Amino acid sequence: MNREFTIFTGTANPALARTIASKLGAQVGACVVDRYPDGNVAVQLLETVRRKEVFLMQSTSPPVSDHLVELLALADACRRAGCARVTSVVPYFGHGRADKRNGRREPIMARVVADLMEIVGISHVITVDLHTPQIEGFFHAPVDSLTAVPTLCQALRDRLPANVVVVSPDVGRVGMATRYAQCLGAPAVVLHKRRVSGVETQVTHVVGEVSDRSCLIVDDMISTGGTMAESITALLNAGARPEIIVAVTHGLFVRDARKKLSHPAVREVLVTDTVCVPERDWPQLHVITIAPLIASAMEKLMSDGSLGELY
């Protein structure tokens, strides 16, 4: 590494920031990230950043708007304090599902977030498993879009039953499921999902053979758990063994997601720590750290190395 750098974190996942910093032989920089009595975000850097490379760690996980504003405030403070470059490390990119208008007079919030980040001086973004790759194109700034698939595959190798098929819960995740399938040497199956509302989905077809097979369902995120619950039912109805493993990058677990995933057929649920998982006492849940992947991306960025192999 040949540049002086500082890492600051918002309140979304300070534990991940500390792990990443320690992998880079550093500590998280001192700063205040708080609230004024009226709820406005209060940020102050407690150390100099002049001419330094700055990394701002913040997943825009729930509460999404609060975490986003903290990130914007930190970036503005760094830019005004004369840092050399601000890179935001956003392991989970909130608003990622709002990536098109769907013809219903809706905003494209992923694009709005990209614009806001650039306006406050963020000139580079590192993120993990974006909901859709086109979000990268919403930025003028370079975006290093990493994937947690190899990290999760490594954790899955010793846990998978024989005869497993990788299941994509919808057509949007076929690319990701194919990567898992290649990495694990297993066949892939696709479910045809119809979204009824923000919390309700319906699986209409199982495309591929799951009869008497164990299933590994993969996805970018679990939000309310509705997609997973529907997928589990559809697979069991199609004759899959009651031996289901779930692997997703971002475990948001909002509303009663845990209840939906606590199905007797679900053996294990693997997520990464892109989002701070508040769930406790859930023996099936395993949180696999993404810190080595992000730390090595930051290292390569600072040494001007290629990040190609991390994508």
| Token duo for residue 231 | 């997928």
* 19 φ, ψ (degrees, to nearest 5): -65, -45
For residues 182 to 201, the per-residue mask of contacts with ligand R5P, x marking binding by CB under 6 A and - elsewhere, is -------------------x
Determine, following the binding rule CB under 6 A, whether residue 218 of this chain makes contact with ligand R5P. Answer: no
| Token duo for residue 298 | 């930051």
**Between helices 149-156 and 174-184, what is the axis angle to 10°?**
40
Q: How far apart are CA 57 and CA 112, in angstroms?
A: 19
- Kindly indicate which of the ranges 146-154, 205-213, 215-223, 301-309 contains the residues binding ligand R5P, using the contact rule CB under 6 A: 215-223
Determine, following the binding rule CB under 6 A, whether residue 227 of this chain makes contact with ligand R5P. Answer: yes
Determine, following the binding rule CB under 6 A, whether residue 224 of this chain makes contact with ligand R5P. Answer: yes
| Token duo for residue 108 | 């494209």
- Kindly indicate which of the ranges 56-64, 148-156, 167-175, 209-217 contains the residues binding ligand R5P, using the contact rule CB under 6 A: 167-175
Rounded (5°) CA angle 66-285-168:
85
Determine, following the binding rule CB under 6 A, whether residue 96 of this chain makes contact with ligand R5P. Answer: no
Q: Indicate the residue among 17 and 217 with the shorter CB distance to ligand R5P.
A: 217
Sign of CA dihedral 133, 137, 200, 258: positive
Residues that bind ligand R5P (rule: CB under 6 A) add up to a total of 15
Name the nearest CA neighbour of 171 among 128, 133, 219, 214. 219
Q: How far apart are CA 253 and CA 1, in angstroms?
A: 37
Catalytic residue among 23, 52, 193, 300: 193
N-to-C CA span, the chain: 21
Q: How far apart are CA 305 and CA 289, in angstroms?
A: 23
Q: Indicate the residue among 223 and 272 with the shorter CB distance to ligand R5P.
A: 223
**Single residue of 222, 291, 297, 298 touching ligand R5P by CB under 6 A:** 222
Determine, following the binding rule CB under 6 A, whether residue 161 of this chain makes contact with ligand R5P. Answer: no
Determine, following the binding rule CB under 6 A, whether residue 223 of this chain makes contact with ligand R5P. Answer: yes
* CA dist 35 → 89, 116, 210, 241 (Å): 22, 20, 51, 50
Determine, following the binding rule CB under 6 A, whether residue 169 of this chain makes contact with ligand R5P. Answer: yes
DSSP three-state, residue 41 = strand
Q: Is 193 a catalytic residue?
A: yes
CB 19 to ligand R5P: min, Å: 26
Q: Indicate the residue among 22 and 134 with the shorter CB distance to ligand R5P.
A: 134
| Token duo for residue 288 | 């696999």
**Single residue of 53, 70, 144, 219 touching ligand R5P by CB under 6 A:** 219
Q: Indicate the residue among 77 and 190 with the shorter CB distance to ligand R5P.
A: 190
CB 132 to ligand R5P: min, Å: 9
**Single residue of 10, 29, 121, 226 touching ligand R5P by CB under 6 A:** 226
Q: Tell me the CB-side half-sphere exposure of residue 85, using CA atoms within 13 A.
A: 14
Q: Which residues bind ligand R5P (CB under 6 A)?
A: 97, 169-170, 172-173, 201, 219-227
Q: Which amino acids are annotated catalytic? A: 193
